[in-house]
Amino acid sequence: MFGREAREAGRVLASRFDADGRTLVLANDEGSDRADAPATPESLASALGSVAAVMNRDEDVLVLYTTSHGSPHAGLNYRDSARGAAVIAPSQLAAMLDRPGFKNRLIILQACFSGQFIGALSGPRTVVATASSSMKSSFGCSAGNDWTFFGYALINQAMRQPDTFVRQFRRAFVTILGWEQRSGFESSSPQISVGSDTGGWLAALDAREPKIPSAPVGRPPSELAQ
């Protein structure tokens, strides 16, 4: 299901940040719905290098959205039938972002325990948003789902409505908390870290958002029907 979420997230984020033609999606292909490359640690590092080569790293903003399983004290899990399993630790992802010299960065991580990345990735010119705290699970990752709780609330709902990114995140947080309470789940406690020098580029991104809302795509997470 992560591939379905990643591909639709790519379309929503391209519209939200006025980035059509400047978006790469890493996911396994499903029928005619093709990705730019498979989702592996190697392809992610390669994609980041390619993006850095064509952007103005002093002015442009890197927006990275990842969706996967997560492990406590380990990082993001990637599984591919042809390549086996791999983990990207917080320090590894930080190195992938630091090596090409990205300065303005909006990093959104959908995974259990993804709050463990905030310490490694935070900085004055970086915003980090995660689906959970470092010690909590997130929900909605059943195999047949189109979206996780976090992806559906933030990407498929909040970010389709005109507003600033920070308010979109906070609206998604409240939505997720309500779903978790109704389902009897312990709160995943989504996290956000906003660097002290992000105001300028955040305002510029927010000014480029569409002024007309768009409709959600796909089905809500199956757990919400239980």
Instruction: Please check whether residue 130 lies inside any domain of the structure.
Output: yes
- 217 part of a folded domain: no
pLDDT at 32: 56
Q: Per-residue pLDDT tens for 37-74?
A: 777 888 899 999 999 999 998 899 999 999 999 999 89
- Identify the domain containing residue 7 by its residue range: 2-211
Asked whether residue 14 is domain-assigned, the answer is yes
pLDDT for 89 beyond 60? yes
Full-prediction pTM beyond 0.85?
A: yes
What does each C-alpha distance from 44 to 40, 49, 66, 92, 223 come to in angstroms?
6, 9, 10, 11, 30
Q: Evaluate whether residue 224 is within a structural domain.
A: no
Give 18's pLDDT tier (boundaries 50, 70, 90): very high
3-state helix, strand, coil in the chain (%, to 5): 40, 20, 40
Tell me, what CATH number does 115's domain have? 3.40.50.1460
| Within-domain flag for 221 | no
Enumerate residues 6+ apart whose C-beta is below 8 A from 97: 48, 62, 64, 105, 107, 121
Please name which of 198, 28, 25 lies closest in space to residue 105, comparing C-alpha atoms.
198
Predicted local distance difference test score (pLDDT) of residue 210: 94
pLDDT tens for each residue of 115-131: 999 999 999 999 999 99
* Residues constituting the chain: 226
How many domains does the chain divide into?
1
pLDDT, the chain, mean:
92
Closest CA to 4 of 219, 223, 226, 224: 219
Residue 152 maps to a domain: yes
The answer to the question of residue 218 being in a domain is no
Residue 151 inside a domain? The answer is yes
Q: How far apart are CA 48 and CA 24, in angstroms?
A: 9
**What pLDDT sits at residue 52?**
94
